[in-house]
Chain A
Amino acid sequence: MGTQLSDIPQGILQAELGAGRVSINLDAEVYPLQALYGASYIFIDRCYVFIDRPDDKVFRVTLSAKDAAPEAEALRALVGEFANELLSCAWRHQITQDNRTIIETVTMQAIAGAMGEPSLDDLASFDFSDEAFDDPLGIAQSWEDKHGKKVQKQDEPEASNEGAAS
C-alpha cells in the first residue's frame, strides 16, 4: 500500500515504508534517459535502483534501501537527493550538447598536452591488429542470437543458463 512522503506531490511518488522502497514517475521529455542513467549510477552504491517504463512518456525509478527499512525522513532524503542529482544530470546533459565544441577542444588540449607525442617504445606496444576482439562471455552477441530459440525451452532452466553465459 502506498504512503505519501511530505512535500512530494502524489502521483509522482509512491512510497512503501515497510519495504524501504520508493518509486518516482518521471516525465521522459524532461529527464532524458542519459540523465537518468547518470543519476542512477551515482546511487547504486547507496541503494538499489530499478528503472522501468509504465508507458512511453514515463520512466519509473524504484529506489530500495540496502539495509533495514529506513525511517520516512531517511527515505525522503534519499528521494530528494536523487531528484537533485537527476536534475543536475539532466541539465549537464543539455549543457554538454550545447558546449560540446569547447568542452572537447579543452579536453583534447589538456590530455594531448599532458601525454605529449608517443615515443618509439610507445609505438612499438600499440596494437595495430584488426582481428576480432576476444569475447569469452559472448557479450557482443545479440540477445536474439543467443536466446531466440530458447524461448520455447522454459522447462530447461539449467540449459538456458548455460546459453546465457555462452
Chain B
Amino acid sequence: MLAQLKPSTSFQAFFRYRQVADKILITNFEGNFLLLTQEEFKRYAEGDVEEESELYKRLDAKNFVRKTYRVADAVARMQARKHFLHAGPNLHVMVVTLRCNETCIYCHASRANMDAVHTDMTPEIAEKSVDIALSTTNPFVTIEFQGGEPLVNFEVVKHIIEYAREKNKSLGKNLEFTMVSNLSLMTEEKLQYLLENRVQICTSIDGPEKLHNAQRKLATMDAFQKAVFWIKRINQAYEEMGLDTTLYHCEALMTTTKATLPLWKEIVDTYVNLGCKALFLRPVDPFGFADRTRLKIEYPRSAYLEFYRNAVNYMIELNRQGVEVLERFAGIFLTKILQGQDPNFLDLRSPAGAGVGQLAYSFDGKVFTCDEGRMLYAMGEDTFHLGHVDTHTYRELVGHETVRAMVLASNLDSQPDCVNCAYNPYCGTISATNHKAQGSIFGRMRENNVCAVHKGIQDFLFEKIATADQELLDIFEKWTTIRAREHFVQDSEPANAAS
C-alpha cells in the first residue's frame, strides 16, 4: 500500500509510523499516538480528511495536523517526558565487595571467591563514594548496595548507611537505600538492621526451584530455598510493621537464560506464589561470562520474544482473575505510552542514564558510568571508567568526556533507525551493551539485540492496545500507576522494625 500512497506535503504534522497487526501506528514528536486502519492511514498520509470528520477530530486532538499544530502542548509534553534532563545521577551503585557465596552461570566478572577479602570496600572508600553520591544535583538519591554479595561486607553496608544519613542531615536529599542480595547470608540480626534503617531489599529468583538452583549454585544446593525463606520473612515483617503489603514487599529479579524460555508459566506462578507483584523478564546481558558459556545460556531474541508474549499473556489472564501481578518492561513502556510520563528507568530513556542518571562505585574506589561499565572493566575494557573517588570530584566525573559521548550516543534523535522509528518517544538504547556487542557506543540498531527486544515488546503492547479490550486497557492502566514508597525515604529517625 505504501508504494501507492501520494503523500500530502502540507496536511500532516511530523509523524512516524509502523504497522502493528492490521493497524498502522502513528506517533508524533512529543509521543502522542493513534492506531489507524489502513484506509484511515492512507487518507491521513494523502491529506484526504474532511475537517468535520471523526478521523480529523482524532488526529487534531493528538496534534497530528499541521494546520492546528499546538506548539505549547508539544513543549509541555516534551518537558514531562524529559523531566530527568535537568538533574544529575540519582542511582549510585556501590559494590561493597566482589566476594560472593553463590556461583551463577551468567556471572563471572562480577564476583570473586569468598577468600578474596581484598575485594571488600574499605570504610574510607565508602565514605568518599558517599561524598560523591551526595554531591549530585539530583534531590533524589538512591544508594544501591551491590556485589558480589553485599551481605558479605555488611559492616561497610552499615557504615555507608550511617555515614550517608548523618551527612544528609545538612543536605536534605530525598535519600533511599536498596540492597540487591541473594539473601543466603541473611540473619535475623541483619534483617532487623535493614528494616530499622528502611533499606529496600531486592533478590534474585530465576524461576522454579530446579531452574533457580541449577543457575545459582550454593555449596549446599539450596539457593532457592534460602531466598524463598527470607522473601517470606521480609514480607511478614512488612506486614507486622503495618505497611501496605501490595506496595511493600521483597522485590525479586530474574535473568532469562535458554533454560528459562519453556518455563514461562512456571516462572510466573513461582513469583505469584511468593507474593511478588511484579516480574522483570530481563534478557541475559552480554556481560560477565565467558564466550563458551554464551552458547549454553544465550538464545535468539525471537525465542525470547515468544517467551515474553507467553508469559505476559498469562499474567494478563491472571489479572483478569483478580491476581495482581505486572511485568516491569510493560509497566515502563505503558507509562510512557499511555501516561506521557517517563518513569526514569535509566536504560529506557533518551538519552540513557549512564553517567548522568547513575554512577557505579567499585570496591576499590574506581567510578564508572554504570554497573555494566564496571563489569566490562573487569573483562578488560576500560572505556566506561571515569576516575577514582580519591582523585576526582563529582563534577569531573559527570562532566567526563565519556559521559558526554554516551549522552550523544544514546540520544535516539541522533541514531540511525531510531530517528524514523515509531517507538522513538518511548524507547532507549544502552551504550555499554552496544559497545560490548557491536564495538561502538552507538551500536547498529537493525542488528542490535536490545533494539529487537524493545521493538518486539512494544509491538506486543500496541497489538494489545489495538484490540480496544476495555478490561485489558484497565489492567494496563493499573500497570502504569507509579505509587511512591515513602517508607523507604530516609528521615532522621530509624523506623520501628517488627521483630
Decide if A and B touch, CB cutoff 8 A.
yes
In-complex Cβ contact of A92 among B87, B351, B398, B416 (8 A): B416
In-complex Cβ contact of B439 among A46, A92, A95 (8 A): A46
Which segment, of B54-62, B400-408, B477-485, faces chain A?
Answer: B400-408
Query: Do A106 and B88 touch (CB < 8 A)?
Result: no
- Return chain B residues, CB-CB under 8 Å to A110: 85, 351, 356, 407
Task: Tell me if A's interface is mostly helix, strand, loop or mixed.
Answer: helix
In-complex Cβ contact of A116 among B88, B407, B413, B419 (8 A): B88
Closest CB in chain B relative to A153 CB, distance in Å = 40
Which segment, of B122-130, B140-148, B225-233, B440-448, faces chain A?
Answer: B440-448
- Return chain A residues, CB-CB under 8 Å to B407: 106-107, 110-111
Q: Is B399 an interface residue (CB 8 A)?
A: yes
8 Å CB contacts to B: which residues of A111-165? 111, 113-116, 118, 121-122
Q: Is A99 an interface residue (CB 8 A)?
A: yes
Query: Do B414 and A103 touch (CB < 8 A)?
Result: yes
Chain B 82-94: CB-based contact to A (< 8 A → 1; otherwise 0): 1001111100000
Evaluate whether A84 and B444 lie within 8 angstroms (CB atoms) in the complex, with A107-B351, A107-B404, A114-B88 already known: yes
For the complex, what is the distance from the CA of A96 to the CA of B419, rounded to whole Å?
Answer: 10
Chain A 80-116: CB-based contact to B (< 8 A → 1; otherwise 0): 0000110010011001100100110011011101111
Query: Do B439 and A42 touch (CB < 8 A)?
Result: yes
In-complex Cβ contact of B395 among A92, A96, A107, A116 (8 A): A116
- Return chain B residues, CB-CB under 8 Å to A99: 413-414, 419
Query: Do A118 and B444 touch (CB < 8 A)?
Result: no
Query: Do A42 and B440 touch (CB < 8 A)?
Result: yes
26 contacts between A and B (CB under 8 A): A42-B440, A84-B444, A84-B447, A88-B442, A92-B415, A92-B442, A95-B415, A95-B416, A95-B419, A102-B413, A103-B411, A106-B407, A109-B85, A110-B351, A110-B407, A111-B356, A111-B403, A113-B86, A113-B88, A113-B137, A113-B356, A114-B88, A114-B356, A115-B88, A118-B395, A121-B393
- Return chain B residues, CB-CB under 8 Å to A85: 439-440, 444
Query: Do B411 and A107 touch (CB < 8 A)?
Result: yes
- Return chain A residues, CB-CB under 8 Å to B413: 95, 99, 102-103, 106
Q: Is B355 an interface residue (CB 8 A)?
A: yes
Closest B residue by C-beta to A94: B416
Closest CB in chain B relative to A91 CB, distance in Å = 4
Evaluate whether A43 and B439 lie within 8 angstroms (CB atoms) in the complex, with A107-B408, A111-B404 already known: yes
- Return chain B residues, CB-CB under 8 Å to A113: 85-88, 137, 356
